[in-house]
Amino acid sequence: MLKRILIAAVAAIPLLAIAGYAAAGGQSDLAAVRDATNAYHDIGVARDAGYTTELALFGTTTTCISNGNEGAMGIHMVSSVDNTLDETHPEALLYEKRNDGSFKLTGVEYILPIGSSPPPAGATPPTLFGQDFNVTDATGFFGTPTFLWTLHVWIWKPNPAGIFESWNTRVTCD
C-alpha cells in the first residue's frame, strides 16, 4: 500500500508542476510571441527586420552576455527601445552561436528605458505575461548610468531556472 502511495505521489509531481506553470502564465500565453518570432530563427531575417547586435547599435564590445555559473543570456540582437511594449515585437532577440558558426534563436527580451538612475523604491514595474520586469543596471554596457526594465522569455530554448529568468544555464558564450 505504501508503495502505491509513493508511486502515485511521484507520478503527480510533473502534473503539479505543469498546473503551477500554467497558472503562472503558461506556454499558451506565449503562442503569439512564438508566431511573431518564428521567422527569426534565420538571423538574416532578423537583420532585415531591423534587429542588430549590441556592438553595432550601442558601440559596445560586448556581444554575448554571460554571468559565470548563473548562465548566459547570449547574443542580443536589438530593435528599437522606446517606451512602448508590444508582446509580438520584443525589443531584443537572444541567440546562441553554434559550433558550426550558425546562430540558434533561444529567446526574446522585452526592454523599457528607466533613465540614468534606478527607479524609486516601491516603483511598480511593468508586467507582461503576468510577470514583473526586473531592473537592469546597464551602465557597464553603455559607459554612462543607464537603467532598464527587462524581461527575458526563453521560448526557444528551455531554461532550468524558469522561462522568465534572466540567466539560462543551457546558454553559453563559448
Of 87, 166, 158, residue with least CA distance to 127: 87
Splitting the chain (174 residues) into consecutive groups of 10 residues, what average pLDDT does each group show?
Answer: 43 38 57 97 94 66 83 92 93 94 95 95 95 93 89 97 97 89
- Letter for the amino acid at 46? A
Cβ atoms of 81 and 111 closer than 8 Å:
yes
- Letter for the amino acid at 58? F
Q: Could you give the angle at the alpha carbon of 144 between the alpha carbons of 62 and 48, nearest 5°?
A: 45
SS3 content of the chain, % helix, strand, coil (to 5): 30, 25, 40
Kindly list the domain boundaries of the chain, sorted by start residue: 27-153
Q: What pairing do the DSSP bridges indicate for beta strands 103-115 and 92-97?
A: antiparallel
The cell numbers describing 81, all together, are: 527601445
